[in-house]
Amino acid sequence: MKKLINKPENVVDEMLEGLELAYPQYLRRLENLEVMVRSNKKEGKVALVSGGGSGHEPSHAGFVGCGMLDAAVCGPVFTSPTPDQVFEAIKAVQTDAGVLLVIKNYTGDVMNFEMAMEMAEAEGIKVAKVVVDDDVAVMNSTWTVGRRGIAGTVLVHKIAGAAAEAGKSLEEVQAIGEKVIKNIRTMGMALTPCIVPAAGKPNFTLEEDEMEMGLGIHGEPGVRKEKIRTADEVVEELVGRVLEDQPLQAGDEVAVLVNGLGGTPLMELFIMNRKVNAILTAMGVKIHDTNVGNYMTSIEMAGASVSILKLDDELKGYYGAKADTVAYKHF
């Protein structure tokens, strides 16, 4: 295992320490907790809390800030945070307007966030939730019942966060989050495995000439392993599977997210985006905006995912609103 770390058991703690030192204008860490909150709490608005296992950076702490999240809960690498951690995050950011939990659809995340929700409600805090399940690759997986929540979660943060920043009620922000989830689909693939520091070895194997389609962001099995293909061929399948699940027609308007899994050069992500753009443009679909980069990673895994969000006027308005965070900025 080659990693720039000290002790495997300290990676999350030391990462959060370094993150806070780098961006004190955006973030502060709750004392003795793996929770990052906005450096300046904003009262009077619905607070958004998300999180999950670490290893997906910049998700989720990188999206804490104006127009997106109010808190991110950072569990151990690829392991759900505890209900107590989530509860402390809720208490730290809650306002009279309430708290919305944005949960990726993994069994541990859903269970622990829901337990924290019950703890908060017992203390009189208004809490609602949305569960993101944008991955079209497989229906049930290693850690899920139903579809997995992957990179599309970032655009849920963006749009629901904008609605909260605009002063919408908890019920309205929840409804907008659900609308994003209904209209976004994602599929990914991997060229290499990743190494969880505590394990010290790859979590699955791929031969030098192999790739895996539909792989999960924790290395969960995908659709199949096969010989590596060209970027254009890979994108054709990723976009094709997304469009099978959520058909688009000429005149529809979308936002695109081409997401790297941590070890893929931007060069390759832009090559992929070129083909995504060509496919959608040939269909007569209007691309309102495109994001290319590392938004939800899998430590050092080489690979990528493509997310397509179908927009209407309401979603487009919130999508275009200001966001100012460490990892996502829109002005």
Amino acid 242 reads V
The CA distances from residue 219 to 111, 143, 213, in Å, are 21, 11, 11
Are 36 and 20 in contact by the 8 Å Cβ rule? The answer is: yes
Please report the DSSP string for 309-328 in residue order: EEE-HHHHHHHTS-EEESS-
The pair of three-digit structure tokens given for residue 322, joined into one six-digit string:
């200001």
Dist. CA 141–CA 199, nearest whole Å: 21
Beta bridge partners of 101: 49, 129
197 CB contacts (<8 Å, ≥6 apart)? Answer: 1, 3, 5, 8, 11, 77
DSSP 203: S
Neighbours of 165 (CB within 10 A): 21
Is 330 an active-site residue? no
| 15 closest CA partner among 265, 84, 264, 7 | 7
Main-chain phi, psi angles of 39, to 5 degrees: -65, -30
Q: H or E element: which one contains 307?
A: strand 303-311
Residues β-bridged to residue 308: 185, 256
Mind giving me the DSSP string for 268-290? Answer: HHHHHHHHHHHHHHHTT-EEEEE
| 218 tagged catalytic | yes
Catalytic residue, candidates 56, 60, 157, 330: 56
Q: One of 60, 157, 218, 288 is an active-site residue; which one?
A: 218
Angle at 106 between CA 292 and CA 8, to 5 degrees: 75
Active site residue ranges? 56, 218
